[in-house]
Chain A
Amino acid sequence: MKKAVDILIVDDEPDYLIALSDVLKDKGYTVDTATDIDQLIAKARKIHFNVILTDTMLPGMMGAETFNEIKEITPRTIIMVMSANYKKNMEKEFIKAGVYTCLLKPFNIDKLLELIERVKSKKGR
């Protein structure tokens, strides 16, 4: 059985990974990190994450195709996209591929925490 970890943060900006990990750990979540899609996929195969919070401009990222793949590996995981490059069409494609929400960086951290709590309290997650 896979070990349950609350959140996987995926970003290739090391400072951002540290900052967001510390905020989420501070709020009591267990957090793991990855810096590219290969790492994300490898970790998602071993560990069950409630939430994957991922950037979109990452090594190995193939857009909607990547999210379909993640959903196949771990269908119950909520995927939240955080991007510094906002495109409405891209957002629509991601949502179709199973992404829960898209956040434009920099976003309001309280709103992110609200979203995480909302999806965590959902049945079966």
Chain B
Amino acid sequence: MDKLYSDYKNMVTKITKSLSKAKRINPALEKEFMDISDKLVDFTGKIKEIEKLAVLGKIISATCHELRNPLSAINTSIYFIQSNLGKDKPKLIKHTDIIQREVDSTTRILDALFLFYKSPEPSLISTSVNALIEGILSDIEIRMPKKRVNIRKGLDPSIPKAMIDIDQLGKVIENILQNAYDSVGERGKIRVGTKSVKDKIQISISDNGCGIPEGNMEKIFDPDFSTKSRGIGLGLALVKDIIERHGGSVEVKSKIKRGTMVTVTIPIKHSRNNL
């Protein structure tokens, strides 16, 4: 990026010099020369913006790295304390659980930031989507103990394995489940289903939560859009980004106070042509 910008600056200097020379030779063309010059100034501004974004990307990447180290020490120390806490210390157990949950939540934010800004190409492995969902559901039930939510599964056992990036598709399912969990009240219902449709697999996650207001529907995939008191709004933007990298699509249907259904469709065999 640095080299590109310096090459571009050299090129602009050369063009500006040539324009001045040409203007001296043929003053009648001054207006055309001015137009080209204005466009160059405009374009330079845009290049500077891109340069700033590239720097921001580097800062985000370095920050993620720097935060993972202290988080790792906290995570490990908490594990040690939890392993050595007697059951006769319920308050201490409760507080170490809180620290653990907050570490996990911060780690998820870093993962989302990293995946969104770095957009790594999916590393595809033939995987059972049902097994991936089962694993996430068992983790999520431990992670979300505050509300009693009824999670029902409708996983079609006959769906074939699909070419997916396990970590990235895992983040997609976690994100959608987290949104569903946040939107339902005490004793809310979430349903997770899979089925195959021709050469694709569909994963649907529905809830009977608060729903998304119609006015917000067009903004839900924007990276800075969030209605939650916590979070950075990257969730669904990241979901869309990852699924499109898998050659798939995401559809969201919602009715206020009735609930939301998110359907993710991915090809069973991924190829560049899917993109």
Contacts and interface: CB of A to CB of B under 8 A. Distances in A.
Interface of A: 13, 15-16, 19-20, 22-23, 26, 57, 82, 84-86, 88, 104-107, 109
A85 B120 CA distance: 13
Contacts of B80: 19, 22-23, 26
B241 to A, nearest CB: 16
Interface string B27-71: 000000000000000000000000000000000000011101111
Contact of A19 (B66, B73, B123): B73
B83 interface: yes
Interface of B is mostly: helix
Contacts of B72: 13, 16, 82, 84, 105-107
Place the interface of chain B in its size category.
20 to 34
B65 A85 contact: yes
Given A23-B83, A26-B83, A88-B120, A106 B68 contact: yes
A105 B68 contact: yes
B107 interface: yes
B10 interface: no
Interface in B207-256: none
Given A16-B76, A19-B77, A106-B75, A84 B84 contact: no
Contacts of A106: 68, 71-72, 74-76, 103, 107
B76 A84 contact: no
Nearest to A13: B69
B116 interface: no
A16 B83 contact: no
Contact of B69 (A16, A26, A88): A16
Contacts, number: 55
A23 B120 CA distance: 33
Given A26-B83, A106-B76, A109-B76, A84 B120 contact: no
Contacts of A86: 114
A19 B68 contact: no
A76 to B, nearest CB: 27
A112 B103 CA distance: 17
B8 interface: no
Given A23-B79, A23-B80, A105-B68, A16 B120 contact: no
Interface in B68-99: 68-77, 79-80, 83-84
B77 A105 contact: no
B245 to A, nearest CB: 13
Given A84-B65, A88-B120, A109-B79, A26 B73 contact: no
19 contacts: A13-B69, A13-B72, A15-B73, A19-B73, A19-B77, A20-B76, A23-B76, A23-B79, A23-B83, A26-B83, A57-B65, A82-B72, A84-B68, A85-B65, A85-B68, A106-B71, A106-B76, A106-B103, A109-B76
Contacts of A85: 65, 68
Contacts of B84: 26
A105 B114 CA distance: 13
Nearest to A109: B79
Given A88-B123, A106-B71, A106-B103, A19 B76 contact: yes
A50 B154 CA distance: 43
3 pairs of A and B residues whose beta carbons are closest in the complex: A84-B68, A19-B76, A106-B72
Nearest to A86: B114
Contacts of B68: 84-85, 104-106
A104 B70 CA distance: 13
